[in-house]
Amino acid sequence: MFSVALLSAGTAHAATDSATLGQVPGYFRQRIGDLTVTALFDGVVPLARSMLKDIDAKTVSALVANRYVPESKDGFQTAVNAYVVQHGDRVMLVDAGTAKCFGPTLGNVITNLRAAGYKPEDVDTVLVTHAHPDHLCGVATPQGAAAFPNAILWLAGADVDFWTGDEAQAKAPAPMQPLFDMARKAIAPYAAAGRLRRFGPGESIVPGVLAVATPGHTPGHTSFLFEAGRKERLLVWGDVLHYHAVQFARPQASFEADTDRRLAVRSRLDVMRRSAANGWWVAGAHLPFPGLGHVRREGDAFAWVPVEYGPVR
């Protein structure tokens, strides 16, 4: 029971100026079977309602009305997440954030990696779900060196070919043109050092990690399925969806930035069905941080069940 004296003592101090208060370091740790999984917060980016396709505006408004997604004039607040997956002595990073590619609200993966107790030199494997800047730019420093100097960089061959090829860039809309140059710059130090590896659908990347093809957002978009023990699995699914308040309930709603919107919808439906049926843990790059949890069936659609904060066991 609190005493009056204690309450009085607590009110005697001036309140901290709210302008000086920042957020806690952006990392979250979870044990999943044999794996230690650390979510890293890169930052937030707004995604406009107008980029949602194949769904009417009235339905979008109804879906977001009671989910309280922060929204500004530029769009819905959308997280950008990356994940450290440690298995024994192996330290793997899935996606690497934006570095300096996308402005001041992003680019915090390295800072939060260090806050979580890791150094860039500790990472031996970098798995990139696809070659968009918010996943790939962070593998290199602003000076063009490898941000993870001891790591092998893994990227689907289809994305390497697409994002480093002159033909695709020549056909791309003007706003997309810089993304090709960003991809080339990011992978260059790894390619020069002989530490860039390509893979195809269904390949085993390293022991216990399977490449699950989820194309559509990009030609080589890949999710990574980690064995976490006898029964448990973790699927790190990259950009299977972007608008969590809409696309779980309406998986057929597509995203303007998808390279092949119909294929992206098929991939989303397939991976959601599998995740729900198998009870897999899921980690999503654009789910609200930490982006860890499970997918639940809800009639013909799905729902997101976020992880609960708790001790690391």
Q: Which amino acid is at 277?
A: A
Please determine, for residue 195, whether its predicted confidence score (pLDDT) is greater than 60. Answer: yes
Q: Is residue 311 part of a domain?
A: no
Report pLDDT digits (tens) over 44-84: 999 999 999 999 999 999 999 988 999 999 999 999 999 99
Q: Is residue 220 part of a domain?
A: yes
Report pLDDT digits (tens) over 75-130: 999 999 999 999 999 999 999 999 999 989 999 999 999 999 999 999 999 999 99
Q: Is residue 4 part of a domain?
A: no
Helices (H), the chain: 4-10, 57-64, 109-115, 133-136, 157-164, 166-171, 177-192, 244-247, 261-278
> Widest CA span of the chain, in angstroms?
75
Sort strands 254-255 and 52-53 into parallel, antiparallel or unpaired: antiparallel
Report pLDDT digits (tens) over 159-181: 999 999 888 898 888 888 899 99
Q: How confident is the model at residue 20 (pLDDT cuts 50, 70, 90)?
A: confident
Please determine, for residue 3, whether its predicted confidence score (pLDDT) is greater than 80. Answer: no
Number of structural domains in the chain: 1
Q: Is residue 69 part of a domain?
A: yes
Tokens of 143: 């000076």
Query: What predicted TM-score, i.e. pTM, was given to this entire model?
Result: 0.93
Q: Is residue 130 part of a domain?
A: yes
Q: How confident is the model at residue 14 (pLDDT cuts 50, 70, 90)?
A: low
Q: Which amino acid is at 229?
A: G
Range of the domain at 74: 25-306
Q: Is residue 216 part of a domain?
A: yes
Which of 92, 120, 128, 108 minimizes the C-alpha distance to 221?
128
Considering only residues 4 and 86, tell me which one the structure prediction assigns the higher pLDDT. Answer: 86
Mean pLDDT across the chain, nearest whole number? 93
Q: How many CB atoms lie within 10 A of CB 238?
A: 26
**CATH number of the CATH domain containing 47:** 3.60.15.10
Tell me the C-alpha distance between 291 and 287, whole Å.
5
Q: Is residue 8 part of a domain?
A: no
Which pLDDT value is given to residue 22? 86
Report pLDDT digits (tens) over 240-261: 999 999 999 999 999 999 999 9
Please determine, for residue 134, whether its predicted confidence score (pLDDT) is greater than 70. Answer: yes
* Highest mean predicted confidence (pLDDT) among 13-17, 22-26, 277-281: 277-281
Q: Is residue 183 part of a domain?
A: yes
